A and B are shown apart, each in its own frame.
Chain A
Amino acid sequence: MSLPPAYVHERTVLEREIQKNQPVDVLQFCANHFNKRLESQRAEFLLSGANASGSSASTFGGITASGGRASPALVPVESSFPGFNTTGFNSAASPPSNEVGPNDPIIEEEEPDMGQSPTASTFNKYNLGPKEGAASLSEQVARISASPPPPAASSTFASRGRQAQSTLSPPSAPSSAFRSPSPSNDFPSNYNMNRRTSVSAESMVPSSASEDWTPPFTQKTAEQIGRLNAAIADNLLFRNLDEDQTKQVLGALTEKTIRHKDTRVITQGDVGDFFYVVEKGIFDVYVNPAGQMTTGPEGLGRKVTSIGAGGSFGELALMYNAPRAATVMSTSPDSILWSLDRVTFRKILMENTFKKRRMYEAFLETVPLLSGLMSYERSKIADALETRSYPADAVIIQEGDPGDNFYIIETGHAEVKKRSEGPRVLKTYTKGDYFGELALLNDAPRAASVVAKDKVKVATLGKEGFQRLLGPVTEIMRRNDPSQQQQHPPVDGADDTDMGGVGVLSENYSMS
């Protein structure tokens, strides 16, 4: 019976070390040697733990099989693998026992992808050996940094006071002569190390106010709209769209009938301009490992999945022009697809965002407190405004609460109420109105409540965010009026003090 290969390897490594160093105290040398081995293995293990959380469900090659029957092989499972606890490794993790050089304090990443990794099996070895739990992580780290650093990463650190970290950092040169025989151990095997190509959509500028661009529109039934909405709702390209954008995108989807069976809708390797949602029929997806469809009977490649009604594919084409990652073919006559082209999609998003930005900037201009802002500062704020939605009757600001955010109404109506005034509505805010801006100045509690009357969408930014972006508001106000330099806090109008920190509408802003 032969000895385990891992053991043979360890022994070889040790023997080489002994030959090289000719130690006097052999026993001590061996003990030190294995301690170092443990350190590097442990470090490696920790590293692999940090990395292992990365994988998530992914679509392949820009094709989602959301509604279809995705082949299990292609749907990556949320990463978890036996015996590996990403949260608990700090104290309990065991030093792994696979093959890495003995003098090697280098920390190498482990392959995080469980599915295809040739190294996956090595994780089974990460079982806690009874002896190794002893040293705490910090001790391990300390010893790693105390051991001779790899020559390349050496020096220069001492006077920088970062010694401990630096020696742990990736070295510039593999320093050990006894490296693991499999280089794929160290790096994600599924990461393509080649040069990466830049991608770009067509350059686009928002249409000027004079030319009014309207997106293409195809009439659809409410039921169709519902289905389409469900089909795209989870897609990262659609899930952050606002209502207007979603409405226009859904409207722009164009029906496309595929008359015949075995018609290629998209062809792997071709340029992609359209995104498709399946309305009716089933479409088969083929991937040729060559990266493009080839001629011959096997040209389509392997069938990887099928996509049925409600499924979608080709979404990468909505971002930029990239070669199609798969071939998609109809399986029955008279199938129906909805299609959307990139330029239309991007134009819808751009036009809407552009208008919204200008709207925000215009709104901000009307806030007396912020009148001292330069236009680039207003852009900056507009850039950072966060959209929040409230259902009817939701409380946006609660009287008495500490004030943090200021708000601009994008859509809907909100009512101002005060406990002292009973149920009476003191004011109704509508699109373009702002409130809560005094929170930017001071921490005074809100003097009134603002409640959504119907569905309300606001753009909001907190005091912290505002100050991080532009500095203290008081400074900005000081720019405006040098005479106020000593006064703090400045007051920007009787109305505002009356409203007690809620702020007040100064003028109506309406969008064209």
Chain B
Amino acid sequence: MTSAASSPLPLSGFLPVASTHVLQSQRPQSNKLNPSSIPDSTGAGYSDVPKSAAASPNNTPFQGSGFLSNGGSNQNSNIQSPTPGFFMSNPLVLSPQVSANCSAALRDFHLSDPHSGHNSPAASSDTYFDEDDMEIDMTIEDPFSRNKMNLSPPSHATPTNINEAPQKIKTIVNARNTAETRNACPALHAHQFELLRTLGTGTFARVWLVRPRKEYRTSGAEFYALKVLKKKDVVKLKQVEHVLNERMLLSVSRPQPFIVDLYASWSDRENLYMLLEYSPGGEVFTYLRKMRRFNQIQTQFYIASVTLILEFLHDRGIVYRDLKPENILLDARGHVKLVDFGFAKRIGSQETYTLCGTPEYLSPEVIQSRGHTTAVDWWALGILTYEFLCGFPPFYDNSPFAIYEKIVQGRISFPASLDETTRDFVSRLCEADLSSRLGNLVNGARDVKNHPFFFGIDWKALGEQRMDGPLVPELSFPGDTRYFDEYPQPSPDFEPYKPEAHPQEESFFRDF
């Protein structure tokens, strides 16, 4: 990569002070988080910063606006006007060293397609954003190519609409928005979408940033996240039930602004598809690892948002079971979007038994198979709070089994930097005794929300997303992916899935 030269982000650290100020006054959204502004914590090269940079109190490098004007067709501009008040002032002010280090951070954040010559975010955005009739050069392997070859529609799809004029994806999605999303959507097919890049991977799933192909889209700024699950792996790993749960729960959990919106789902011979809202801020995990830790304000905001989500889900008898920074995304305004409902389950007031989650976040009752309830999410919220503030979870080790030993022992050591209130909050959530665990008691989530840890939070304003989050992504266009990490290309899979061999699973997939 040719770092600074192709970068749309002028290294403001090297700009004369005066010009930095001019730029700032042109761009009022000072708390926008620039990818380059996420401090690179590796620590290298922080010294020897030019003094002029240090003099600039808030040197968010300007960027974005120039590219927005390129994309004049963009009506969904993600640039928000600043909303003062929720956070009394800018929680993220950049340190000068950070932007001096901009190019290093960019290396981690730019959208690069190893197969194309376009490496900078600017070039990439040109590639698939501004010109509506411009097709992206899909040099990456198209996992749908097999589907294209046997163009037979999925067995349960009605073949009637094949020869009709292409229906816009947005029209389909909007129609479903008001109606039932619980049924499979036969009008949708994988070949209607361009796969732009991978946003995340799982054991049997890959999430792509997609845009409807030209004939199916209303504008070039129409982006979705498409979760593609390989039936073969889902069956092999015996995760059919979890996959069905995910689809079902996402469709009943809407509309909740903090939960990723599922627009539609369908399946074909090889795969299951979920068309999801694209949350361009990327994973909170990425921010956390880059910044090492969140401060109290950031932590409070994210934990409060997650608390609202858990309250919402638990009120509906749904346990989430996989809380962790990796599953929390940020939207364009820095608000939380919970994704990956693979382990979510509607349990009502009953207990459930399947061990699932992420080692560091498992609660003692899950590890010891005592049957578990929605209380596991409150445990995980405590772990999450700790990890946000410390940068690593309270129980960790090299081997999972050693982690479990520590979790069952239940001793949390707090860094001196954590104040009493926070310690109390974490300890009450990470409490093995279910008759003492905060959130699981008579007042439910209200007990959590009333804890002094949340001092100063305006729950109503937060729930209505009246203000921007403490970290607001800098985005040039709706399909900007600079906040997502790079993932290796899917490895070619030569062993096709044979639906005939799994009649029982197929019968479940039919309704997907």
Which residue of A188, A193, A195, A354 contacts B353 across the interface (Cβ within 8 Å)?
Answer: A354
Q: Are B324 and A465 in contact (CB under 8 A)?
A: no
Q: Are B88 and A159 in contact (CB under 8 A)?
A: yes
Which residue of B44, B240, B293, B340 contacts A170 across the interface (Cβ within 8 Å)?
Answer: B293
A-B contact pairs, 27 of them (CB 8 A): A58-B405, A60-B398, A155-B90, A162-B296, A168-B417, A169-B295, A170-B292, A172-B39, A174-B43, A174-B98, A177-B46, A181-B43, A182-B43, A200-B343, A200-B354, A203-B238, A204-B354, A236-B368, A240-B370, A320-B356, A346-B355, A349-B353, A353-B369, A357-B351, A383-B351, A384-B433, A468-B441
B203 close to chain A: CB less than 8 A: yes
Contacts of B369 in A (CB 8 A): 237, 346, 349-350, 353
Contacts of A202 in B (CB 8 A): 238, 354
Per-residue contact bits, chain A 45-63, to B (CB 8 Å; 1 contact, 0 not): 0110111111011111110
Per-residue contact bits, chain B 292-308, to A (CB 8 Å; 1 contact, 0 not): 11111110000000000
Contacts of B440 in A (CB 8 A): 380, 469
| Residues 161-186 of A contacting B (Cβ, < 8 Å) | 161-162, 164-166, 168-183, 186
A322 close to chain B: CB less than 8 A: yes
Q: Are B353 and A204 in contact (CB under 8 A)?
A: yes
Shortest Cβ distance from A287 into chain B, in angstroms? Answer: 11
| Residues 272-308 of A contacting B (Cβ, < 8 Å) | none
Per-residue contact bits, chain A 248-262, to B (CB 8 Å; 1 contact, 0 not): 000000000000000
Q: Are A168 and B419 in contact (CB under 8 A)?
A: yes
Q: Are A461 and B435 in contact (CB under 8 A)?
A: yes
B137 close to chain A: CB less than 8 A: no
Shortest Cβ distance from A344 into chain B, in angstroms? Answer: 13
Per-residue contact bits, chain A 427-444, to B (CB 8 Å; 1 contact, 0 not): 000000000000000000
Contacts of A354 in B (CB 8 A): 353, 371
B506 close to chain A: CB less than 8 A: no
Please report the C-alpha to C-alpha distance between residue A43 and residue B415 in the assembled complex, in whole angstroms: 10
A325 close to chain B: CB less than 8 A: yes
Please report the C-alpha to C-alpha distance between residue A204 and residue B353 in the assembled complex, in whole angstroms: 7
B260 close to chain A: CB less than 8 A: no
Please report the C-alpha to C-alpha distance between residue A349 and residue B397 in the assembled complex, in whole angstroms: 26
Other than the given A62-B399, A166-B295, 18 more pairs (CB < 8 A) read A56-B409, A152-B94, A154-B93, A156-B87, A162-B419, A172-B39, A173-B95, A174-B97, A190-B396, A196-B326, A198-B203, A199-B357, A200-B242, A236-B408, A316-B400, A346-B355, A379-B350, A468-B435
Contacts of A467 in B (CB 8 A): 442
B18 close to chain A: CB less than 8 A: no
| Residues 130-168 of A contacting B (Cβ, < 8 Å) | 150-157, 159-162, 164-166, 168
Contacts of B14 in A (CB 8 A): none
Shortest Cβ distance from B445 into chain A, in angstroms? Answer: 15
B28 close to chain A: CB less than 8 A: no
A375 close to chain B: CB less than 8 A: yes
| Residues 403-430 of B contacting A (Cβ, < 8 Å) | 404-406, 408-409, 411, 413-419, 421-422
A117 close to chain B: CB less than 8 A: no
Shortest Cβ distance from A10 into chain B, in angstroms? Answer: 15
Q: Are A236 and B404 in contact (CB under 8 A)?
A: yes
Q: Are B414 and A156 in contact (CB under 8 A)?
A: no
Per-residue contact bits, chain B 348-362, to A (CB 8 Å; 1 contact, 0 not): 111101111111100
Which residue of A170, A183, A205 contacts B295 across the interface (Cβ within 8 Å)?
Answer: A170
Please report the C-alpha to C-alpha distance between residue A455 and residue B473 in the assembled complex, in whole angstroms: 63
Contacts of B442 in A (CB 8 A): 467-471
Please report the C-alpha to C-alpha distance between residue A50 and residue B400 in the assembled complex, in whole angstroms: 23
Interface residues on chain B, number (Cβ under 8 Å): 101
| Residues 32-50 of B contacting A (Cβ, < 8 Å) | 39, 41-44, 46-49
A321 close to chain B: CB less than 8 A: yes
Contacts of B400 in A (CB 8 A): 62, 199, 316, 322
Binding site for A on B (CB under 8 A): 39, 41-44, 46-49, 51, 54, 57, 87-95, 97-98, 202-203, 237-242, 285, 289, 291-298, 322, 324, 326, 340, 342-343, 348-351, 353-360, 367-371, 373, 375, 389-392, 396-402, 404-406, 408-409, 411, 413-419, 421-422, 433-436, 440-442, 455-456
| Residues 450-501 of A contacting B (Cβ, < 8 Å) | 461-462, 464-471
Q: Are A160 and B456 in contact (CB under 8 A)?
A: yes
Q: Are B390 and A109 in contact (CB under 8 A)?
A: yes
Please report the C-alpha to C-alpha distance between residue A175 and residue B57 in the assembled complex, in whole angstroms: 12
Q: Are A58 and B441 in contact (CB under 8 A)?
A: no
Shortest Cβ distance from A458 into chain B, in angstroms? Answer: 16
A206 close to chain B: CB less than 8 A: yes
Q: Are A353 and B417 in contact (CB under 8 A)?
A: no
Please report the C-alpha to C-alpha distance between residue A151 and residue B97 in the assembled complex, in whole angstroms: 12
Given contacts A56-B406, A201-B356, contact A171 B399 (CB under 8 A): no
Please report the C-alpha to C-alpha distance between residue A109 and residue B360 in the assembled complex, in whole angstroms: 19
A337 close to chain B: CB less than 8 A: no
Which residue of A59, A174, A178, A186 contacts B399 across the interface (Cβ within 8 Å)?
Answer: A59
Please report the C-alpha to C-alpha distance between residue A449 and residue B397 in the assembled complex, in whole angstroms: 47
Q: Are B370 and A172 in contact (CB under 8 A)?
A: no
A399 close to chain B: CB less than 8 A: no
